[in-house]
Amino acid sequence: MVNRSTFYRHYLDKYDLLEQYLNEMYVSFEDQQVIAGPNPPEVSSSLINLLKHIQQFAGFYRVMLGMQGDPLFTQRFRHKIEKGFFSCFNQVFPELAPKY
């Protein structure tokens, strides 16, 4: 329920809003690292928080990542999430990390 002029004062269009949303989300969850210790490694709280965020706003992600969603959003979101999970996986299982 935002006035149109207020919206356009902050964003170019709905795609700009989405872009800024993604950037802010990625920054807040960027430190997806594994905490090393004597016990089995634990995933950092930022990754857990990201999954909780997705769960909390499941309706939004269902629409945006569904058949009628924005393909650019889906591509960027998927790429960033895969990168985060691979980073965690490679830290937990360095012997399985691809050698380039």
Residue 42 confidence (pLDDT): 60
| pLDDT on residue 87 | 76
Show me where the domains of the chain are located: 4-92
Q: Which residues of 18-36 are buried (b: 16+ CB within 10 A; e: fewer)?
A: bbeeeeeebeebeebebee
Cα(63)–Cα(19) distance, rounded to whole angstroms?
16
Q: What is the pLDDT of residues 60-86, one digit of tens each?
A: 999 999 999 889 889 988 888 888 778
